[in-house]
């Protein structure tokens, strides 16, 4: 009875644990499914601990969240009071832009406000040229900085985030970039500004409004940076502070602006709740529509097909070559066979001719013999012969 009770007890405990785990993961999956962005992460800035994540390492286009790294490099390399002249290239960059004209003289600080609040691409290019002399050189500085702060799954190809081949980041890397940017009080101040007026040295004034809508609705929000392109969809990285706790949230590939704001608020609240209750990280992996890794696989498959096709062509050529050689050999053998046949026939003909010749001689000899015998017989009759 004791053994039976022991078995039943163990079975009961196992069933209970199984049911609890099933319930937990069901709730977890249900919660994860509420996040429609392709990738998202919530991080505790004091510990660097992930509080919640969905596809945290999925490589996706960063869009204008790129400008956060642009601002980091600029604040470390340039003096905010320096005045720069807007180049023709910067004035002609694709929108969205502040509207600076070629030759306008603007301070680095003014350009940072334009780039981070209004997400101005012309300001980003002007900053890159002012710091490094060219966009290409500035991008190299951006990528070095990304590696230095631990954003190892991030590659930039420009200072503004407009679409281009080979440019990507992850939600986790983007959160790291934000955490690093918050070290600089000036950057924290800029991204937390709702509206401001900027002006050129000539006195041309521009009104700039922050693209981050949550600054008007969430009192805990410190600031953030938005991004959007057709390929990247809606992107956002922000920081929120409550008492002594700070949470950074990053989202990539959100289907709409409304979804982006709603999910950002949900993750901020979830982050603070997780810190308060000291919960274990919730990390969820879901199938995304696309990412760099799958593109690489597709590219690999394409290359494989190409290699197979190339290999097949080589094989076909080799077979064709062999076939041609075989046909040539066959023809040669056929010809040789015909030659042999001809030789055989010729030999046979020669042999037949020789036999015929011999036969002819034999006939002649027989004829002569007959003739001689007749003559002998005649001679014998007429007495011309003698006996021995």
Which structure tokens are listed for 199?
């002006």
pLDDT at 343 (0 to 100): 55
- Strands 50-54 and 282-284 turn out to be parallel
If we measure between CA atoms, which residue out of 57, 64, 74, 87 comes closest to residue 142? 74
Q: Which residue do the tokens 């190299």 mark?
A: 140
Q: What is the pLDDT of residues 128-168, one digit of tens each?
A: 999 999 999 999 999 999 999 999 999 999 999 999 999 99
Cα 250 from Cα 267, distance rounded (Å): 9
CATH architecture of the domain covering 33-290: 3-Layer(aba) Sandwich (3.40)
DSSP 8-state symbol, 37:
S
Strand partners, 206: 198
pLDDT at 341 (0 to 100): 58
pLDDT at 287 (0 to 100): 76
* H or E element that contains 239: strand 233-242
Kindly report whether the peptide bond that precedes residue 96 is cis, defined as omega within 30 degrees of 0: yes
Which structure tokens are listed for 159?
């200072």
Contact 66, 158 (CB under 8 A): yes
Q: How many Å from the N-terminal Cα to the C-terminal Cα in the chain?
A: 146
- Given CA atoms 83, 203, 122, 112 in this order, what sign does their dihedral have? positive
In the chain, where the domains are located = 33-290, 291-388
pLDDT at 359 (0 to 100): 63
Point out the residues of the chain with pLDDT beneath 50.
Answer: 2, 4-7, 16-30, 290-315, 333, 365, 369, 371-388
Single pTM value for the model: 0.69
Cα 254 from Cα 93, distance rounded (Å): 26
DSSP 8-state symbol, 235:
E
pLDDT at 19 (0 to 100): 44
If we measure between CA atoms, which residue out of 126, 114, 130 comes closest to residue 88? 126
**197, 306, 311, 312, 325 from 316: Cα distances, Å:** 70, 15, 8, 6, 14
């Amino acid at each position: 009875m004791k053994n039976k009770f022991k078995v039943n007890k163990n079975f009961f405990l196992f069933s209970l644990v199984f049911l609890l785990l099933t319930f937990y993961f069901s709730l977890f999956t249900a919660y994860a499914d509420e996040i429609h962005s392709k990738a998202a992460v919530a991080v505790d800035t004091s510990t660097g601990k992930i509080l919640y994540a969905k596809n945290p390492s999925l490589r996706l286009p960063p869009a204008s969240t790129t400008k956060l790294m642009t601002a980091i490099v600029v604040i470390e390399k340039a003096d905010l009071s320096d005045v720069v002249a807007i180049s023709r290239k910067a004035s002609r960059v694709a929108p969205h832009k502040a509207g600076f004209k070629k030759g306008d003289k603007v301070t680095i600080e003014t350009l940072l406000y334009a780039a981070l609040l209004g997400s101005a691409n012309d300001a980003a290019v002007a900053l890159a040229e002012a710091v490094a002399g060219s966009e290409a050189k500035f991008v190299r500085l951006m990528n070095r900085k990304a590696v230095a702060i631990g954003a190892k799954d991030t590659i930039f190809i420009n200072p503004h985030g407009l679409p281009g081949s080979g440019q990507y980041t992850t939600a986790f890397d983007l959160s790291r970039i934000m955490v690093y940017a918050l070290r600089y009080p000036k950057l924290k101040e800029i991204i937390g500004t709702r509206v401001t007026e900027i002006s050129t040295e000539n006195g041309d004034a521009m009104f700039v409004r922050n693209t981050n809508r949550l600054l008007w609705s969430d009192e805990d929000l410190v600031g953030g940076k938005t991004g959007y392109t057709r390929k990247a969809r809606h992107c956002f990285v922000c920081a929120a502070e409550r008492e002594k706790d700070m949470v950074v949230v990053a989202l990539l590939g959100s289907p709409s602006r409304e979804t982006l704001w709603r999910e950002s608020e949900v993750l901020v609240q979830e982050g603070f709740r997780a810190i308060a209750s000291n919960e274990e990280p919730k990390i969820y992996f879901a199938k995304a529509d696309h990412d760099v890794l799958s593109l690489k696989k597709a590219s690999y498959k394409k290359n494989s097909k190409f290699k197979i096709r190339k290999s097949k062509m080589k094989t076909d050529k080799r077979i064709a070559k062999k076939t041609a050689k075989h046909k040539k050999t066959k023809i040669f053998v056929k010809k040789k066979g015909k030659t042999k046949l001809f030789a055989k026939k010729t030999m046979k003909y020669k042999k037949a001719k020789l036999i015929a010749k011999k036969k002819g001689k034999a006939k002649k000899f027989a004829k002569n013999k007959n003739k001689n015998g007749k003559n002998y017989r005649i001679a014998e009759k007429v007495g011309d012969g003698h006996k021995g």
